[in-house]
A and B are shown apart, each in its own frame.
Chain A
Amino acid sequence: DTEVTQTPKHLVMGMTNKKSLKCEQHMGHRAMYWYKQKAKKPPELMFVYSYEKLSINESVPSRFSPECPNSSLLNLHLHALQPEDSALYLCASSQPTRGGTGELFFGEGSRLTVL
């Protein structure tokens, strides 16, 4: 069983809709991540929160808006998406270490389809 929980597992939305993806972890990790994964590709980093502050934004379009309400929760707000944004969105968490990211724990993902 994954210790990072993502909801919903599947989401279909139109280009004018507003929706949110949610992620929760109770491992006490202080870094949380959003990744985007297209079929047959590795995950691509979108955002990193470290100690509830946005640490990395990989030049993601503003139609994706992350939010970290507390150390256990991470949201990704979606608005005016394009069909090419259809993908698997993965949340991950880790305990930051001096040696790098430390081990990342991934959720099972939210599969997004934009019509």
Chain B
Amino acid sequence: AQSVTQPDIHITVSEGASLELRCNYSYGATPYLFWYVQSPGQGLQLLLKYFSGDTLVQGIKGFEAEFKRSQSSFNLRKPSVHWSDAAEYFCAVGATGTASKLTFGTGTRLQVTL
């Protein structure tokens, strides 16, 4: 069975600073990997996903993530954070070939200071 760890419960960054949110997964083969964002009182919105191929994935809102098999990681990055990026971010892993059984991390809450 797969599992996901998001080591950082809460992160605070200044507006304009760079951001990296960590995600480590456990799975025996190449997984499907996802990042979702949740604003307060809202549902989850897909930021980006990785299935295969290029290990650097571009998403919406200027986010990107890099799949590193050797480190079992799929960290989310953004070069310059905006105040509107304040939200909770979830990493999820699915088994090879299907996104129908996702395991979610416990989330990282991002606070942006002005």
A and B from one assembly? no
A residues near B (Cβ < 8 Å) are none
